[in-house]
Chain A
């Protein structure tokens, strides 16, 4: 799986699709986060709108990404959580960790 990315106002937006699950999308997400950081990105926004399934490994990759970006002085935030992903972030209590937006303009502006 190749995760598309684009940059807007200095924020790198990753847009995974389908499953972020063990052996399927989790490694792709990790690679996309690291590729963005390696190319000089500091602030990342992950748009989860088109994600259909996320398992504990996928959640683990979001957390890893969050930690890595934070440790490098940047911010990793989430955009457009589908209800199923929202439920899982509630269950895992990670809603208390991530900044979550449902509007891209607002999300991008929040990094300023």
Chain B
């Protein structure tokens, strides 16, 4: 008999045994009888007319089974890859939504765009045959930057998308903002770039598809964060496969970060191909292939203005952004720089008027979509940077200006001028906690010590809030979502009292098998080891929207909590019958049903047994069995946030920025497993630090070539780049989720870039530096120091 392990405890993870011993089950580990190998042939050009493909040599190559191209897709009348969000412009006109064929048909629009799929007996044979394809391209000039793409003379990606603008979106009261700016005592202005990122989960994407003629069923194993959504989008909208004839399995998945929460063309092509060749087909991306095909993130160019009164109170905030969509609309693409960006521009402040315009722009680059944080890191970066600029220009301390504008704890729930209403929070409490934890009061001494070594030390703050737990379906529907965003869970109690949970979220590192088991153990009083969590298989799990937007615990955990409550309700009915008491008198606590005020009890196991062996059972009014299901659709987003403080040291000789201290105090609501929450915060923070200091996806204007196309060119954070971080929580409870949870998957990535860059600017402020674009690489800082033309010596 094991132990109940409840909410707030930190048991070691259930999933670890298989990963530690090399027994994980990732897609690339799976082999099917008779399996063939597929490789995708991708465009080497950023922009070209596809004039024709001669398959003959490739087809004659040893081991080749089939070569499929866009013409075959067209012949089979298959659909275009769907976009899950339809946003509208300021006049209410729908966004421009050109088709996104699963294999290119008339044109290629980015380096990596898929042109053909070659299937052979072995990967080597498929690769050899791919080299023999004769593809006739008429190369066109590429445009990769948003500023360049909207120029009148820019190359046009689509005939019916003038100036490459997909949508000219806006949010907020433009007139109120203009009025406020006229009254301002000071206006701070900032131009910035939010650098393009590549998610780089350590497991490259992969897929295996199989068709069973005997049952007319397809199975797709894919590295996905949301197998049910893939089944729906691919089955219903692309391949016309009935939902009951399509099984999508996402087994162990080696990290996602958003990269694996889209329906990719590769999934559709390989599923379609498996039926055509009547063989299981497997494709595993190389890392380099991932760089030119995994959806990228961020990539904004922004002009922001903050109006303040003479005391430093924010009067109005105006933001104009150009957001890069890449060559086509990906699953969530247009939603990210609009609905997940504009509504966050209020931050933790009482700014009464906000206006945001976002031009969503097509370019000859990999489609851009959600990457950990998705829109919210971009909003936080703009806001937290301009607050520092305003403080510096007005001579107000950076912490003080934040305090003067912060929403006080007692003002919650707080309605912002940009749609969202924060239910709870205590930004001042997080700030106070972080100031102590980061030992800010002794920063001066540390800075002086750095100066003695010839180094510049800086401190940076980011006080922020985000919106996650995606999402209230009704609200999302008004914003253009084409699907619901609820979650579902089934709690199956076995006759012996053990529990299997089927849940629609997907675990790819977040520790759901542990956290969700704690919830069940806590609520049902069942031993922790007697609870298993099943996910990632549309044949085993009823339905689900998957894992992204810090939604798994918030929305999925709520569904699980509700389903567990239903089990208790039914259990009480059974107990009332067995104990010959009225249902109202039955109590359930610590795994025991009892008649209030008596010592008559039935254990959870006894009730489960009675439900499946209903000899003495109220069959007239109650069905046998003990299994309950719940769907949960949240009423609001959740709003985690906090305060991050970064401390950096800059070496003026080399321009190297070293992160020397990092402190985060975050409000993530109720913490189910503190060990797992800390791990999520660590990882999230380092992804934000990566954006701030190291990572940058660089394209060559004109040719459209990705210059940072491998792990040798794209700098990922490594162990020796980082200090030991201090993370802590300062929680207020979410008022509308069943357990008070807010989500913790993305906060680190949202809060950290601004904290790090504010620290870098602080370190260099004595040289007149007011802004540094990300990533703050040694090259960029060294050049900045040279151009400053100031004595490069410590104060």
Partners in one complex: no
A residues near B, CB below 8 A? Answer: none
